[in-house]
Amino acid sequence: MAAGHKSVGLGDALVKIDTPIADGIPFEGVPEIDNRDERAAETSQEAYIQDNRQDILRLPVVGALLKWRWLQPLIEIPMVITFVLVIIVGIWGTQEPSQNLATMLIWIYWWSMIIFSFVLVGRIWCFICPLGAVGEWISRRVGTLGRKWPKALRNLWPAHIFFITLTGVDLVFGIDTLPNVTGYFLLMIMVMSIVLALVYERRAFCRYVCPIGGMCGIYSMSSGVEVRAKSRGRCESCTTKECIKGTDESYACPWFEYPGEMDRNNYCTTCLECVRSCPHDNVGMSARPLGQDLWRTKTRVFDEVILAVGMIGVMASHTIATTQPFDEWVTATEIDQGIPAWLTLTLVYVGSIILANFVYYGISALGGRAASTEDRVLDTATVFKWTGYAMIPLSLAMFMARNVLFLNIWGTAIMDVIANMSNPPGWPLGSGPVEAQYLLPDSTIWWIRMAIILLGFIFSAYAGYRLSLRLQPRRREAQLLLAVIILALVVFSIVYVWILSLPLVA
Ligand code: SF4
Ligand code: SF4
Ligand code: SF4
């Protein structure tokens, strides 16, 4: 097996802030409240998992299985076969969306369930994703030009633009109801993944282009599992750095991560390549409190915050578009004003994303003003860039609350879809009736949705509390900043619950 690539990314696309606020005002001399564990994590040469946590990889059987080199390919192979089947069935199979494997599997089940996986195990989807796997296999077996990804594009904007365009086109034209468009779209993404893998080093497509990569990254911050260096001191003194160079038996981190500095999950798929590479047994995997990255990480990236807050607008616009009053309004606007429905939907969609960010930027200005002191001035951009991460649990909860409905309606239909694939005109393209059975009554689903939103709200408020203390250790000012963050959470939650309460399109 060839050794990994020698180039070292070390997360150079990210903006690192070494002190709690950008202007570098140190903690010394400032009254502290209870941000000691963050400080310890920042200043200690030892990594988080060394002190208190169990390294899952040391568990018998489980540890050996997770470290087993063939575990990932063994899961990826059936995923790739299924993915190819989905493309074929999408393009050539029945064009009735509720009877087609492509539309049902991708837009109902995968899209609905992936969001739940982030909370438990971070980017576990990327660990088994067929798109990433195919590009990686081809570049490893066939070879790659190994070019570096252009510096100007080492950010999340290409992925954001791709994601916002995709979800916008879906909202306006309903890709999720068009099997052949779904099939061609998946084929296009697969070709992109392969071509970029042949030209650029490692998983450049995944890191910088994949439309759901950015979303996977921000939501994986809430997960309860992490891969980290056990001792950062050991990484500092390590001169060989096999984790980022690779060895004859293992690859360099496909995601350009460096365990010695990694303090968040955003670009780690738990592939454990670094565990296999490290000759010092210095990388471990541990369970941890949910969402710790949100307040602990030193890395704050403006484009991530734009997406985190913008996801609230994405969810709001997609959810309201399925309601009766909105549908009637769009129709009336078309008839009365002559504004085509696609234009209204596009304006609402783009406007919702911009409005969510605009509102939160305004809230950040208010928070910065309320929480600034003479010795610690908090400008709007800094408050936005730090506390915007507190919006992640709430937007994740909105996403889940929306998807619970689809899983409830279509829960058992996949069995019919798969059974019908053997019907005429023959395997695997056949069609037949699909029975959608509601798993739970509407009233139960309503309360499940409310419970999810409430949990997201509490989780976000807690993240806001921790972030407020990081930005402003003085109790009174931190409380003011927290109050402003909670104001934003209340506004966003009320609007979304109101949207959920509207009757659905018949
Ligand atoms: S970033 Fe996208 S293509 Fe890459 S593994 Fe994750 S979901 Fe798949
Ligand atoms: S090889 Fe191991 S000890 Fe060396 S830098 Fe990487 S993780 Fe740290
Ligand atoms: S487990 Fe290690 S090698 Fe794999 S993505 Fe995470 S840091 Fe990189």
Q: What is the pLDDT of residues 362-421, one digit of tens each?
A: 999 999 999 999 888 999 999 999 999 999 999 999 999 999 988 888 887 887 888 777
- The rounded Å distance from CA 269 to ligand 2 centre is 18
Return the residue whose CA atom lies nearest to atom 2 of ligand 3: 274
pLDDT of residue 436: 76
Instruction: Please say if the pLDDT value at position 68 is more than 70.
Output: yes
- The rounded Å distance from CA 131 to ligand 1 centre is 6
pLDDT of residue 412: 79
* Structure confidence at residue 438 as a pLDDT band (50, 70, 90): confident
Instruction: Please say if the pLDDT value at position 92 is more than 60.
Output: yes
Instruction: Please say if the pLDDT value at position 43 is more than 70.
Output: no
Max intra-chain CA distance, the chain: 77
3-state helix, strand, coil in the chain (%, to 5): 65, 5, 30
- The rounded Å distance from CA 138 to ligand 2 centre is 27
What does each C-alpha distance from 284 to 21, 59, 66, 276, 489 come to in angstroms?
30, 11, 11, 11, 35
- The pTM score is 0.86
- The rounded Å distance from CA 128 to ligand 1 centre is 9
Instruction: Please say if the pLDDT value at position 73 is more than 90.
Output: yes
Q: How far apart are the first and last CA of the chain?
A: 57
* Structure confidence at residue 26 as a pLDDT band (50, 70, 90): very low
The SS3 of residue 143 is: coil
How high does pLDDT run on average in the chain? Answer: 85
Q: Which residues sit with their C-beta closer than 6 Å to ligand 2?
A: 229, 234-235, 238, 241-243, 259-260, 274, 278, 280, 282-283
The SS3 of residue 35 is: coil
Return the residue whose CA atom lies nearest to atom 3 of ligand 1: 132
- The rounded Å distance from CA 129 to ligand 1 centre is 6
Q: Which residues sit with their C-beta closer than 6 Å to ligand 1?
A: 125-126, 129, 131-132, 193, 206, 210, 212-213, 216
pLDDT of residue 9: 32
Instruction: Please say if the pLDDT value at position 10 is more than 90.
Output: no
Can you tell me which atom of ligand 3 is nearest the CA of 267?
5
Tell me which amino acid residue 457 is. F
Query: Ligand 3 in contact with 271 (CB < 6 A)?
Result: yes
Place of tokens 């208010």: 366
Q: Give dist(CA 99, CA 153) in Å, integer.
A: 40
pLDDT of residue 425: 60
pLDDT of residue 39: 44
pLDDT of residue 231: 87
For residue 286, list its beta bridge partners: 226
pLDDT of residue 52: 59
**Token pair of 392 as six digits:** 């992640």
Q: Give dist(CA 473, CA 204) in Å, integer.
A: 39
Of the chain, the percentage scoring pLDDT greater than 90 comes to: 59
Instruction: Please say if the pLDDT value at position 262 is more than 60.
Output: yes
pLDDT of residue 431: 73
Q: From 174, 211, 21, select the one nearest 97 (Cα to Cα).
A: 174
**What value does the mean pLDDT take over residues 262-283?**
93
* Structure confidence at residue 450 as a pLDDT band (50, 70, 90): very high
